[in-house]
Amino acid sequence: MTDWSRVPVLVGAGQHTNREEDPVAAPDPFTLMTLVAKEAASGVPGTAPDKVLVGLTHLFMVHSLSLRHGDPAHALAARLGADGADARTSGMGGNIPQWLVDRAAERVEK
> HSE on the CB side for 79, CA within 13 Å?
17
Distance of CA 106 to the CA centre of its chain: 17
* Tens of pLDDT, residues 4-50: 555 566 667 888 999 999 989 999 889 999 999 999 998 888 888 89
* Dist. CA 73–CA 60, nearest whole Å: 7
Domain encompassing residue 21: 4-109
Number of domains in the chain: 1
* Tens of pLDDT, residues 37-94: 999 998 888 888 899 899 888 898 888 777 778 889 999 999 999 999 989 888 877 8
Provide the whole-model pTM.
Answer: 0.79
